[in-house]
Amino acid sequence: MPADTVSVTGWGRTAPTTARLVRPRTYGEAARAVRECGARGGIARGLGRAYGDAAQNAGGAVLDMTGLDRIHTIDVDGGTVLCDAGVSLHRLMEVLLPLGWFVPVTPGTRYVTVGGAIGADIHGKNHHGSGSFTRHVPSFELLTADGEIRTVGHGTPLFDATAGGMGLTGVILTATVRLQPVETAVMRVDTERAVDLDDLMTRLTATDHRYRYSVAWIDLLARGARLGRSVLTRGDHAPLDSLPPRARRHPLAFHPSHLPATPAFVPEGLLGRTTVGLFNELWYRKAPRARTGELQRIPAFFHPLDGVPHWNRVYGRGGFVQYQFVVGHGREETLRRIVRRVSERRCPSFLAVLKRFGEGDPGWLSFPVPGWTLALDLPANLPGLGAFLDELDEEVAGAGGRVYLAKDARLRPELLAAMYPRLGAFRSLRRELDPRGVFTSDLARRLGL
């Protein structure tokens, strides 16, 4: 079984640590890797799209699960797929779209494994109606610390601890996923501008129920009367009869395109206030005031950044922090205050998005709750960034909100219990299931999970 000592980091590239990287190719090899983790334990890793340190394990083992990537069975009539945890959403789209099926939930990248999607309980632009990923998972197989492979069904305590549990209950080996039927690989999209944050929230609240997918890009450098000005994009899967005749010949074709990769070396400070301010101004002005019915391919609508390989390098060697929080309905003033503080501090974020969450799912550490979620990226070398985000954490926790553990790289552990009320139950089940602490990570040690 291949193993190398390597430097491992999250997608934000902020805190690399050294670990023994093991690449199991069979379930037996995965079990052996767990048995041989050693004193520093191990953690499963997929395609490395967790922004922080969730899939790192300093001085221990990291299990690269991408070698377990078989699609076992597809129920074309019932709309389910049984696959290994190392299968990516990209691969599922390649296989399933020609059959008229789509993944039920996808985040902003399709380069996420099914195991990672469960471990982070990922969400997408359709959370307000469809919930997060594990809502669509009837069961999975979990390799636990005692070497047992357990079939874990939806609604059980172990399922709820694993959904959003960041890989700390065991190694997911296979999963069954319910799928979304589609007639085409095309989206029908409506786009409009919102002049400020209140205008945006009003539009989302009034009309989100009409759309399966919705998301808003926000200009976090805009101030004054323009605070929170946004471009709102919403859509649904296009029916076959909405396509032009030529496109109806191959309506389910899925052929993502790619631009040249980002260079390995990018000068520090490239994404400063001036360049991001210029980008934000151009992006807002080029967006239509109101456009309906535009046809877009699935990659363009869901995963525009996937077309730029290694786009995370654009932040330079210092990397970046992706900060995402949620506050509930009735806490809109907290959202306004945070947007105002980010704007007044002139934080250069060009990937800032706002979405509405619907009903949360039962995962004990699952992130979504009904309300508003804002995600923003910030260069990690911004002066005073850590202290500033600590202050935002306090505001979020005080409003009954939480930050997303799959993107976190620096949350203080004393705030975790306020953000995640089921934390005690998670810790208790984990101690019972894994008394020797076989499964651990840099995130787990930092937050005392």
Question: Distance of CA 44 to CAs 74, 116, 377, 449, Å?
Answer: 25, 9, 25, 16
Contact 409, 12 (CB under 8 A): yes
Phi-psi region of 23 (alpha: psi -120 to 50; beta: other; left: phi over 0): beta
Contact 19, 81 (CB under 8 A): no
Contact 158, 429 (CB under 8 A): yes
Separation between Cα atoms, residue 276 and residue 220, nearest integer Å: 10
438 burial type by CB count under 10 A (0-12 exposed, 13-18 middle, 19+ buried): buried
**pLDDT of the residue at 282:** 87
**β 139-143/80-84 pair status:** unpaired
Question: Distance of CA 203 to CAs 15, 112, 330, Å?
Answer: 39, 31, 16
From first to last of its 449 residues, what are the pLDDT tens digits of the chain? 768 999 999 999 999 999 999 999 999 999 999 999 999 999 999 999 999 999 999 999 999 999 999 999 999 999 999 999 999 999 999 999 999 999 999 999 999 999 999 999 999 999 999 999 999 999 999 999 999 999 999 999 999 999 999 999 999 999 999 999 999 999 999 999 999 999 999 999 999 999 999 999 999 999 999 999 999 999 999 999 999 999 899 999 998 987 666 666 556 566 778 888 888 888 889 999 999 999 999 999 999 999 989 998 888 888 999 999 999 999 999 999 999 999 999 998 988 999 999 999 999 999 999 999 999 999 999 999 999 999 999 999 999 999 999 999 999 999 999 999 999 999 999 999 999 999 999 999 999 99
Separation between Cα atoms, residue 311 and residue 261, nearest integer Å: 7
Tokens of 78: 């019932």
**What is the secondary structure of 76-142 as a DSSP string?**
TTTTEEEEETT-BHHHHHHHHGGGTEE-S---S-S--BHHHHHHTT---TTHHHH--GGGG--EEEE
Cβ-based neighbours of 133, under 8 Å, separated by 6 or more: 104, 105, 117, 118, 121, 122, 123
223 burial type by CB count under 10 A (0-12 exposed, 13-18 middle, 19+ buried): middle
Contact 122, 205 (CB under 8 A): no
**pLDDT of the residue at 278:** 87
Separation between Cα atoms, residue 148 and residue 96, nearest integer Å: 31
Contact 421, 132 (CB under 8 A): no
Q: Is 357 helix (H, G, I), strand (E, B) or coil?
A: strand
**pLDDT of the residue at 221:** 94
**pLDDT of the residue at 315:** 87
**pLDDT of the residue at 261:** 66
**pLDDT of the residue at 338:** 98
Tokens of 359: 């009903």
* SS (HEC) of 368-427: CCCEEEEEEEEECCCCCHHHHHHHHHHHHHHCCCEECCCCCCCCCHHHHHHHCCCHHHHH
**Taking Cα atoms as reference points, which of 92, 91, 90, 112 lies closest to residue 101?**
92
**pLDDT of the residue at 257:** 81
